[in-house]
């Protein structure tokens, strides 16, 4: 059976209650601020006006996301592959969702809101100490913020040493891209890719 309505979903899962229902806030407070300040990694989700959905990673040293006030945060838009999928979606719809992670912590922080792309000199000055300062940043206005429970990361054992695999046991990016694009020839070695990326970090 295909589930086609919320009523059908509720028959299976029921309704959120207690802390799960009450924990949603509309602004940052001390614990969500502390979480952002310790997080070196997040994913952002956006969508276009035609329904194209994109989710992509962002990373930096802990504190690389700047907190302006309880309702506003800034995400630096570091140099990437210039696809600009997320940024184009933000221009089209202005909607964004974020999931912040901290290595070793199984809980995550979810933030939803509206966003716009800014090249404000005041904003960019906040990232001037970066090795490669961003040319633009995402200004996110918060509408929802809440801590997400640890179950998913506990199930995955994401931070456990036993969950790690040897990088050499997994195809390199060069091999995977060549195979996907049916490119013949020698694939870029993993170490060469790492050295090339290091220049843009």
Question: What pLDDT, on the 0 to 100 scale, is given for residue 130?
Answer: 85
Q: What's the mean pLDDT in 129-146?
A: 94
Return the CATH class of domain 15-156: mainly beta
Question: What pLDDT, on the 0 to 100 scale, is given for residue 12?
Answer: 92
Question: What pLDDT, on the 0 to 100 scale, is given for residue 133?
Answer: 92
The pLDDT of residue 199 is above 90: no
Where b means 16+ CB within 10 Å and e means fewer, 135-160 reads ebbbbbebeebbbbeeeebeeeeeee
Domain with CATH 2.30.110.10 in the chain: 15-156
Q: Calculate helix-pair angle for 173-180, 190-198, nearest 10 degrees.
A: 100
The pLDDT of residue 21 is above 80: no
Count CB neighbours of 200 within 10 A. 10
Tens-place pLDDT, residues 60-80: 999 999 999 999 999 999 888
Question: What pLDDT, on the 0 to 100 scale, is given for residue 201?
Answer: 81
DSSP 59-89: E-STT-SEEEETTEEEEE-----S--HHHHH
Closest CA to 74 of 113, 24, 108: 113
State how far the Cα of 166 lies from the Cα of 169, in Å rounded to an integer.
5
């Amino acid at each position: 059976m295909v589930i086609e309505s919320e009523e059908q979903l509720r028959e299976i899962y029921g309704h959120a209650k207690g802390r799960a229902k009450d924990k949603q806030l509309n602004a940052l407070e001390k614990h969500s601020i502390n979480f952002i300040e310790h997080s070196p990694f997040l994913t952002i989700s956006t969508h276009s006006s035609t329904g194209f959905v994109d989710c992509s990673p962002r990373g930096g040293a802990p504190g690389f996301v700047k907190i302006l006030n309880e309702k506003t945060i800034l995400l630096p838009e570091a140099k990437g592959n210039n696809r600009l999928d997320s940024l184009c979606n933000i221009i089209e719809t202005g909607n964004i969702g974020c999931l912040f992670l901290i290595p070793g912590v199984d809980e995550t922080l979810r933030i939803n809101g509206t966003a716009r792309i800014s090249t404000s000199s005041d904003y960019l000055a906040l990232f001037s100490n970066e090795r490669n300062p961003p040319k633009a940043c995402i200004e996110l206005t918060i509408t929802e913020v809440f801590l997400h429970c640890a179950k998913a990361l506990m199930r995955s054992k994401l931070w456990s040493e036993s969950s790690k695999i040897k990088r050499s046991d997994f195809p390199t990016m060069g091999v995977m891209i060549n195979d996907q694009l049916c490119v013949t020839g020698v694939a870029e070695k993993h170490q060469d890719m790492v050295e090339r990326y290091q220049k843009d970090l």
